[in-house]
Structure 1
Amino acid sequence: MDIGAAKMIGAGLATIALLGVGLALGNLFSSLISAIARNPSAKNDLMPVGLLGFALTESIALLAFIVAMLILFS
């Protein structure tokens, strides 16, 4: 197998994590909207937790992207 092909396959496998990130963000925000719709007075308590969850989940996507770029260009 050519080294270039192996790099492409490795980078493609590294980006599989992005599928999980997309699903997690969809679940996170659908639950957040549902919780705020059920109890609007709890919005001030729920929003910081939702945004923290967004930031932590998105950091996984950035890490997967960085790993894919390191595989491709090193």
Structure 2
Amino acid sequence: MSTRQIWLSIVLWATSAIAFSIGVSLLLNVLDPTLNMALRGLAALLSVNFIYMVRAGLRRRGRAIASYAQHK
């Protein structure tokens, strides 16, 4: 996976997370409190997944740079 693809996937996930949070906040004004809590839990899970995905991408990038420097 190239650096450009990693950054594009990060931007895509960030954009979808923002769109999801806006959608959740709009739904929270309309729906009942039980669904409200379920949606907040789902939003929290997606946020944690996003953080782990970014960390994994940066870790892979660091390994690729170290491998390149070692073979040079």
* TM-score normalised to structure 1 length: 0.65
* TM-score normalised to structure 2 length: 0.66
The answer for unaligned runs of 5 or more in structure 2 is 68-72
The answer for unaligned runs of 5 or more in structure 1 is 1-9
**Partner residue, 2:70:** none
Letter of the 1:16 partner, please give it: L
Q: State the Cα deviation string for residues 21-70 of structure 1 (Å, max 9, x = none).
A: 21121122112111112125232222112111221233222222222222
For residues 15 and 71 of structure 1, the distance between their equivalents in structure 2, rounded to whole angstroms, comes to: 15
Percent of counterpart pairs with the same letter?
5
Of the three residues 21, 25, 29, the one matched with 2:13 is: 21
| Cα RMSD for the two superposed structures | 2.0
For residues 45 and 35 of structure 1, the distance between their equivalents in structure 2, rounded to whole angstroms, comes to: 12
**Partner residue, 1:68:** 61
**Partner residue, 2:44:** 51
Give the number of equivalent residue pairs.
65
Letter of the 2:17 partner, please give it: L
